[in-house]
């Protein structure tokens, strides 16, 4: 009886929510679009679970438990009383066959294997880190020596990677040299100036 009342109250509550939401929707939206947008809120028959589930009675508990459940419970309770009344119970059991287990390890061995694998990976990572450091050092030395060589070539060889010193500039510099004037080429620092 109580289950039916709870179900009826839930259906009424659900229907009231749908109705109030439909009324709010009608008030807020224009009449032209309200029919399309607010129409789903008018479906209050969804709230009746008994109709929705094909006449299935939610409050009938006979469908929820297996037949014979009570008899099994009573038999189990009687067996427990018999066992507790007679305290001298002997259970005989014979182990038929012992299976040999292979590749079984305990927790300590597993931990040791994990630590060993970790140590191996750590050593490999240290070797990789050292190799990378050596490569970076060699690369730095190579860049430094290439920069020094470039600088030396740029200052001593007028033709080396110099797009700014044109033939006209060289001609002007030769004329200055013939007149015993100060020349710029081969682009060396002027000391004392």
Q: What is the 3-state secondary structure (H, E, C) of the chain?
A: CHHHHHHHHHHHHHHHHHHHHHHHHHHHCCHHHHHHHHHHHHCHHHHCHHHHCCCCCCCCHHHCCCCCHHHHHHHHHHHHHHHHHCCCCCCCCCCCCCCCCCCCCCHHHHHHHHHHHHHHHHHHHHHHHHHHHHHHHHHHHHHHHHHHHHHHHHHHCCCCCCCCCCHHHHHHHHHHHHCCCCCCCCCCCCCCC
Q: What is the pLDDT of residue 34?
A: 72
User: Does a structural domain hold residue 20?
Assistant: yes
User: Does a structural domain hold residue 154?
Assistant: no
Give me the domain span that covers residue 28.
1-59
Least confident of 26-35, 49-58, 88-97, 145-154: 49-58
- Residue with the bigger pLDDT between 185 and 17: it is 17
Q: What is the pLDDT of residue 92?
A: 75
Residue 87 — pLDDT band, cuts 50, 70, 90?
A: low
Residue 86 — pLDDT band, cuts 50, 70, 90?
A: low
User: Does a structural domain hold residue 25?
Assistant: yes
CA atoms within 13 A on the CB side of 156: 6
Query: Does pLDDT of 50 surpass 80?
Result: no
Query: Does pLDDT of 117 surpass 50?
Result: yes
User: Does a structural domain hold residue 48?
Assistant: yes
Query: Does pLDDT of 54 surpass 60?
Result: no
- Residue with the bigger pLDDT between 43 and 9: it is 9
User: Does a structural domain hold residue 45?
Assistant: yes
Number of domains in the chain: 1
Distances (CA, A) of 35 to 29, 40, 90: 9, 9, 79
Q: What is the pLDDT averaged over residues 9-15?
A: 84
User: Does a structural domain hold residue 43?
Assistant: yes
Residue 15 — pLDDT band, cuts 50, 70, 90?
A: confident
Q: What is the pLDDT of residue 193?
A: 44
Query: Does pLDDT of 88 surpass 80?
Result: no
Query: Does pLDDT of 55 surpass 60?
Result: no
Tens-digit pLDDT profile for residues 126-183: 999 999 999 999 999 999 999 999 988 888 887 777 666 778 888 888 999 999 988 8
User: Does a structural domain hold residue 14?
Assistant: yes
Q: What percent of the chain has pLDDT over 70?
A: 78
Cα distance between residue 146 and residue 153, in whole Å:
10
131: left (phi over 0), alpha (psi -120 to 50) or beta: alpha
User: Does a structural domain hold residue 70?
Assistant: no
Q: What is the pLDDT of residue 81?
A: 80
């Amino acid at each position: 009886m109580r289950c039916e009342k709870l179900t009826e109250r839930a259906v009424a509550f659900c229907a009231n929510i749908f109705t109030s939401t439909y009324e709010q929707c009608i008030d807020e939206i224009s009449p032209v679009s309200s029919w399309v947008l607010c129409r789903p809120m008018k479906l209050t028959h969804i709230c009746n679970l008994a109709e929705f589930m094909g006449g299935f009675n939610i409050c009938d508990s006979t469908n929820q438990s297996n037949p014979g459940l009570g008899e099994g419970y009573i038999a189990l309770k009687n067996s427990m009383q018999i066992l507790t009344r007679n305290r001298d119970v002997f259970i005989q059991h014979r182990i038929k066959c012992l299976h040999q287990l292979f590749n079984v390890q305990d927790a300590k061995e597993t931990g040791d294997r994990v630590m060993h694998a970790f140590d191996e990976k750590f050593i490999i990572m240290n070797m990789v880190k050292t190799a990378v450091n050596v490569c970076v050092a060699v690369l730095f030395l190579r860049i430094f020596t290439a920069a020094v060589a470039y600088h030396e070539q740029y200052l001593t060889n007028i033709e080396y990677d110099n797009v700014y010193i044109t033939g006209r500039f060289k001609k002007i510099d030769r004329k200055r040299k013939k007149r015993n004037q100060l020349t710029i080429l081969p682009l060396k620092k002027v000391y004392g100036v």
